[in-house]
Amino acid sequence: MAAGNTVLAKPAEQTSLIAAYAVRLLHEAGIPRAALQFLPGRGEVVGAALTGDARIQGVIFTGSTEVAQIINRTLAKRHDDPVLVAETGGMNAMIVDSSALPEQVVTDVLSSAFDSAGQRCSALRVLYLQNDIADKVIAMIKGAMDELTVGNPAKLTTDVGPVIDAEAQAGLLAHIARMKNSARSMHQTKLSAECEQGTFVAPTLFEIDNLSELKREVFGPVLHVLRYAASDLDKVVAEINATGYGLTHGIHSRIDETIADICGKIKVGNIYVNRNIVGAVVGVQPFGGEGKSGTGPKAGGPYYLYRLTRAAWQPKLAAAPAAADLSALDALAAAAKAQGLALDGAIAAARKESPLTHSVALPGPTGENNLLSFAGRGRIGCVADDAQALAEQLVAAFAAGNRAVLADNELGRKFASALNGHVSLAADVLEADVDAVLYAGAKAEEARRELAARDGALVPLILRGENGYNVHRLVVERALSVNTTAAGGNASLMSMTE
C-alpha cells in the first residue's frame, strides 16, 4: 500500500484469526476496504487462484522454499512479468570460537534456537563449536535447557510454547526419531503433564558429525551441534554456504580478524556478531536472505518499495564510500574498444551507479552497530544475439560485482578470451549454474518458464528496461549487526561527548 498498490491479504490457514484482527485494525485506522481485502483459505485453493489470476501484478510471499518454487512456476506461465518477492527458509548457523564468552553464548543460543518454539525463519538450526570449548559449552547449554518451562504461552512462567499445528508437530517428532539413530548424543527438555494435551515439541539438542545429515530446514525447537578444529574454519564456512541457504548467521568471537574473515566469506543476508540471531528490527536490520532463502529485496531495506512499483530505482541512502573491485569493467572497456563497441558512456554510468561503492550505517541502540552493504549475486547468465547487446549485459553484471556466464559460441568465446577470469562459458546458459539471467531477444517467456522449472534457488530472468538493466537487482543486500559491548565493554562510549 505504501508503494501505491491495493492488497489482497492471504494468510497461512493456521493464522487466519490473528490476520483477520490485524486487517480489522487497519480498516479501523482508515485504510479503505477497497484497498485492503482479507482472503483466508487453504494455499492450494485461495493461493493458487490468486497467483494464477492475471489481475494480480505482484506476490509477496513468506514461507517454505518449496512453496515459493510452486508460486514462481505459476507466475512464469503468465504472459506478463509479475513481481515475486519471496522470503523463505534457512539452515541458519552460528560459529563459536574459543575466545567467545560462554555465558553469553548460552544465553544467545537458547533465545535463537528455542524462542517461539524455534518457529522463526531466522531461528538457529546449526551450532558450530570450536573443539577447545565444546564440552564446556554443550554442558552449559544442556543445563540451561533443563531450566526451560514448556507449556501454555499465556503464562508468564512459560519459556517455550507449542508449535503451530499437529502436522508441524508430527514432522518434527519424525525428524527427532530419525536423528536418534544417527546422532552422537541427544538432550531434551522434559515436558510436564500439561503438554500431553497440545502440539508441544520438547526443545532438543543433537550432536552430529556432518552438516550433510540435514537435507532441509527443520522448523522447530531442534538444535544441531557440530564440533570443529580452529584450522578448519574455512571448511566450516564453505559447508554452510554449500547448503544453498543464506538467511541468518551468527558469530561469537572476540577476535576482530576472525569476525572479519567470516563476514567476508559467509553468504547470508543477515549476520549477527556476539548476540542472538532473531528479532530483526525494521530500519535497523533490514531482513531477507539469498539463494534458497529468498529473492530479495530486503524487507525494511532501500530497494523494497521500488520492487513494488514501475518507477526507476533511485534509493536515497545516507551512504559512506566503500571499497569496490570494479576491475572487470576496466577489462571490458579494453575489450569493447578492441571490438569497436560503444561502451564508454555505459561503463562510466555503471561505475557511478554501482551499489558496491557504498555502505549504509543504520540507526540502532547504544552498544550496537548496524551496517548495510552490497555484494554481487555471484554468477549472472547473459543471453543476447549481438555483441553490443551482450556487452551491455556484461556492463551491468560487472558493475554489480558478478562473474558472467556466456553461451559457448563464437560471440561468447570472443568475450571470454578478452575477459579471462571474469567470464565462463556454458553449452546452455539457461541450464547453467547461475544466480540470475540477463536476457535480450525473442522467446523470453519460454526462457522464464525454463528457469522457473529448476529446483533450488529462484533464478530471475531480467529484461532490459528503458534505461538499461537494473543493476540493483544484480546485488544482494547484507545486513551486519554487531554487539559492541560483548568484548568487555563498548570502547566507543568512552569517546562520546555532549
User: pLDDT tens across 433-447, in order?
Assistant: 999 999 999 999 999
Mean pLDDT by 10 residues, the chain (498 residues): 96 95 98 97 92 94 93 93 94 97 97 97 97 98 98 96 97 97 96 94 98 94 98 98 97 96 97 96 92 95 92 83 93 94 94 93 92 97 96 98 97 95 96 98 95 96 93 96 78 49
Active site residue 196: no
Q: Which residue in the list 121, 195, 263, 382 is annotated as catalytic?
A: 121
Q: What is the pLDDT of residue 74?
A: 95
pTM above 0.85, yes or no: yes
Q: What is the pLDDT of residue 497?
A: 52
Q: What is the pLDDT of residue 474?
A: 97
Active site residue 195: no
Q: What is the pLDDT of residue 495?
A: 47
Q: What is the pLDDT of residue 494?
A: 45
Q: Which domains does the chain have, with CATH numbers?
A: 7-89+300-308 (no CATH), 93-279 (3.40.309.10), 320-479 (3.40.605.10)
Q: Which residue in the list 87, 239, 290, 477 is annotated as catalytic?
A: 87
Q: How many other CB atoms sit within 10 Å of the CB of residue 37?
A: 12
Q: What is the pLDDT of residue 317?
A: 78
Q: What is the pLDDT of residue 62?
A: 94
